[in-house]
């Protein structure tokens, strides 16, 4: 059986990151967040978003 890829929609990611959906779409257009389009709608791989968030955290909270 093939593994399914877990993804967020814009609305789900906005809720998870506590941002407005418009902000998520803007980040996509500016290539500042890992995303891909599927049937004309933005999608976000959950693993890629977790990695991206960790990298962002390291930028602001250097140990």
Listed in sequence order, the residues at least 6 apart from 59 whose beta carbon sits closer than 8 Å to its beta carbon are none
Taking residues 25-54, report their average pLDDT.
Answer: 95
Average pLDDT of the chain is: 92
Question: Per residue in 26-39, pLDDT tens?
Answer: 999 999 999 999 99
Q: Looking at the structure, give the CATH architecture of the domain made up of residues 7-60.
A: Orthogonal Bundle (1.10)
Q: Residue 13 is encoded by which pair of tokens? A: 């990611």
Query: pTM, whole model, 2 decimals?
Result: 0.84
- Domain range list for the chain: 7-60
Summarize pLDDT for 1-11 with one digit per residue, the tens.
678 889 999 99
> In 3D, which of 36, 41, 43 has the Cα closest to residue 12?
43
Please determine, for residue 53, whether its predicted confidence score (pLDDT) is greater than 60: yes
- DSSP annotation string for 1-63: -PPPPPEE-HHHHHHHHT--HHHHHHHHHTT-S--EEETTEEEEEHHHHHHHHHHHHHHHS--
């Amino acid at each position: 059986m093939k593994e399914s890829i877990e993804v967020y929609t814009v609305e789900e990611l906005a809720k998870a990151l506590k941002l407005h959906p418009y902000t998520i779409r803007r980040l996509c257009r500016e290539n500042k967040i890992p995303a891909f389009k599927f049937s004309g709608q933005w999608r976000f791989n959950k693993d890629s978003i977790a990695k991206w968030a960790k990298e962002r955290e390291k930028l602001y909270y250097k140990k």
